[in-house]
Structure 1
Amino acid sequence: MKHLPRVHLNGLRAVEAVGRGGSLSAAAEELGVSVGAVSQQVLKTEAQLGVAIFERTGRGIRPTALGHQFIERLGAGFQALDSAVALTRHDTDSVLTISVAPVFAAKWLVPRLARYAKAHPETKLRLEASIGLVHPDSTDIDLAIRVGEGHWPDVRAEYLLPQEVFPVCAPSIARNLRTPEDVLTAPIIRDANSNIEWDVWLKPLGLDERDLAEGDTFTDAALCLDAAIAGQGVMLAWHTLAHDALRGGQLVAPFRERAKTRFSYWLVTSQKRPEPAKVRGFKSWLQSEIAQMLAE
């Protein structure tokens, strides 16, 4: 570890939090400090490293090409540190540790956990919000829920749910969307970090993404959903993201057409260790919740 003495750990934490959160303010809220303090930590760390991790633009702060690689490795490192500390803080027989993407956790999983707690009072949950695949054999993660093609090495991946996408919007905007062609004239909410293009839904209908109107862009699907609820435009959503807002009437899916992506939801566990009862219980509960959502 000859390189670590060059920088302070708090500075690295600030850099990782800004990169993951997408802004100084998001990092400040997570770390419990001021925006100015985070900014100073980032600048100090860049000076210690002798390279720019972020570039400053009129629209905010974003990682450089090197910064993307640096932040990704920092995230993996802090995840490993967090898992190491977690091993000392709970009884692994009574605590189920789950790694899940932040947007899936916030918009679908967490609102349903009271039902899980009622059905399984003997098990306490510990959720780690992360978008990177965490290997269950090298961490304390019991189960991960991930979106992908399921071809991860050295893990057991169990198919859970296909990821289908479809337009959603506020009821006020839906009134003007009578046919799929009408989407081309509506303001479009875009997720800058999404790997799913609008053409996945448009092409089978004979439409082209290049003909879509302008609209607001966000770097997080949950923010896109909030913008759609607020009536700012139409977004391309999927079941677990939009289901509760659709059920509550905050959003409308104006068309029946759904488009399958090449991705699905998967339950990822250790390939080497036997599956404990707490994992089997959570998987069974999760599958029943998925079935109920699809039935609705």
Structure 2
Amino acid sequence: MSDVLATLPLSAVRVFEAAARLGSFTRAAEELGMTQAAVSWQIKSLESRLGQSLFRRLPREVVLTPAGERLSRAATDAMSLLRTALSDLTETGKGVLAVTTLFTFANQWLSPRLGGFQLAHPDLALRLDTNPSLLDLAGGGLDLGVRAGDGRWPGLESTWLMPSIQTPLLAPALLERLGGLDSPSDLATAPRIGTDSEWAQWFGALGLGSGERRTRFTADTQIAEVASALSGQGVALANPILFARELADGRLVQPFETVVETSPGYWVAYPTERRRTPKIALFRDWLLAEAAADPAVQAYAAARPK
């Protein structure tokens, strides 16, 4: 078998992979820029070398034989690995790195730090996408994503970045109007921003009921809800890591230390087969270093369940 493998022409394997994937000699020829006769000849040559039929030729289609099915899976994996290896070898680190993430994370944590990365790597331009869905990183023109979740996404390798947590935040002026907040139960009658289910989760973590519905405003982004809190309209549930600047300069107050984990964390995710691509590895390592240097991240990461 090793002698057969050593003599198999890569061109024939490439043609077979395309024909098996597309289920057609004609469409394989169109994709590869060959004639249909050339595709048929390459596959016949491969079958002759292997001593087995790989396709059943029907009047209007071709169908893989059991042997063809086995070889098809291996050929697809092999061609994918080869394309990735060639990409890695020719990758210079220059060009465009397309990153997808969440709007609040991008605005509150990532964007203020990007200047340092771009100064250190001026030949690598960044394109930031804030679509709320985890887009197709394999075929959607995107290189890397930062998302909240459990870190388990098919076809992606993920590295934990920071906690995904929430706690009540409000403006000092509102805190004064409320006469202070001595205990979490005082929030049951405070004007609240965010969904009732999120508030019920936070109160439930403390063993408390959320009281009557006091929600005044909800939005599809955390940054919009916190903007409302900054103007004194209510108490918002938000991630204190992402709003560390507002807390540090006194524009927001965190009345209680208790936080609720909304998911297992924020993760850096990228296609498994591209984990060694230089520009992806470069940005991933930079993100991890930035998170490790952020006191707010480390303060809450230290309490993360192992």
Coarse TM-score class (shorter-chain normalised): 0.5 to 0.7
Aligned to 1:111: 112
Number of aligned positions between the proteins: 203
User: Matches of 1:236 and 1:161 in 2, distance apart?
Assistant: 18
Secondary structure of the corresponding residue to residue 156 of structure 1: strand
1:1-296 to 2 correspondences below 5 Å:
93-175=94-176, 176-191=180-195, 197-291=198-292, 292=294, 293-295=296-298
How far is the alpha carbon of 1:267 from its aligned partner? Answer: 0.9
User: Matches of 2:162 and 2:100 in 1, distance apart?
Assistant: 17
Q: Deviations over 1:50-109 (max 9, x none)?
A: xxxxxxxxxxxxxxxxxxxxxxxxxxxxxxxxxxxxxxxxx9842211011122112221
How far is the alpha carbon of 1:253 from its aligned partner? Answer: 0.6
User: Matches of 2:273 and 2:234 in 1, distance apart?
Assistant: 47
- Is 154-163 or 210-219 further displaced after alignment? 210-219
- Is 283-292 or 229-238 further displaced after alignment? 283-292
Secondary structure of the corresponding residue to residue 186 of structure 2: helix
- Check whether the contact 1:191–1:220 (CA below 8 A) recurs between aligned residues: no
When residues 274 and 105 of structure 1 are mapped into structure 2, their CA distance, relative to the original with a 3 A threshold, is closer
When residues 179 and 212 of structure 1 are mapped into structure 2, their CA distance, relative to the original with a 3 A threshold, is farther
How far is the alpha carbon of 1:165 from its aligned partner? Answer: 1.1
- Check whether the contact 1:145–1:265 (CA below 8 A) recurs between aligned residues: yes
User: Matches of 1:92 and 1:212 in 2, distance apart?
Assistant: 53
User: Matches of 1:225 and 1:205 in 2, distance apart?
Assistant: 22
Q: Deviations over 1:199-224 (max 9, x none)?
A: 32211322123435242233332210
Q: Alpha carbon RMSD of aligned pairs, Å?
A: 2.2
User: Matches of 1:236 and 1:105 in 2, distance apart?
Assistant: 18
Compute the TM-score of the two structures, normalised by the length of structure 2.
Answer: 0.61
- Is 230-239 or 118-127 further displaced after alignment? 118-127
Q: Highest CA radius of gyration, 1 or 2?
A: 2
Q: Deviations over 1:118-143 (max 9, x none)?
A: 23223211111211112221122110
Secondary structure of the corresponding residue to residue 216 of structure 2: coil
User: Matches of 2:209 and 2:239 in 1, distance apart?
Assistant: 20
Secondary structure of the corresponding residue to residue 138 of structure 2: coil
Q: Which runs of 5+ in 1 are unaligned?
A: 1-90
Q: What is the letter of the counterpart of residue 216 of structure 1?
A: F
User: Matches of 2:259 and 2:281 in 1, distance apart?
Assistant: 31
Aligned to 1:44: none
- Check whether the contact 1:168–1:234 (CA below 8 A) recurs between aligned residues: yes
User: Matches of 1:218 and 1:237 in 2, distance apart?
Assistant: 12
How far is the alpha carbon of 1:233 from its aligned partner? Answer: 0.7
When residues 244 and 171 of structure 1 are mapped into structure 2, their CA distance, relative to the original with a 3 A threshold, is same
Aligned to 2:23: none
- Check whether the contact 1:103–1:222 (CA below 8 A) recurs between aligned residues: yes
Secondary structure of the corresponding residue to residue 239 of structure 1: coil
How far is the alpha carbon of 1:287 from its aligned partner? Answer: 1.7
- Check whether the contact 1:154–1:271 (CA below 8 A) recurs between aligned residues: yes
Q: What is the letter of the counterpart of residue 147 of structure 2?
A: R
- Check whether the contact 2:189–2:211 (CA below 8 A) recurs between aligned residues: no
Percent identical: 33
User: Matches of 1:92 and 1:285 in 2, distance apart?
Assistant: 14
- Check whether the contact 2:194–2:215 (CA below 8 A) recurs between aligned residues: no
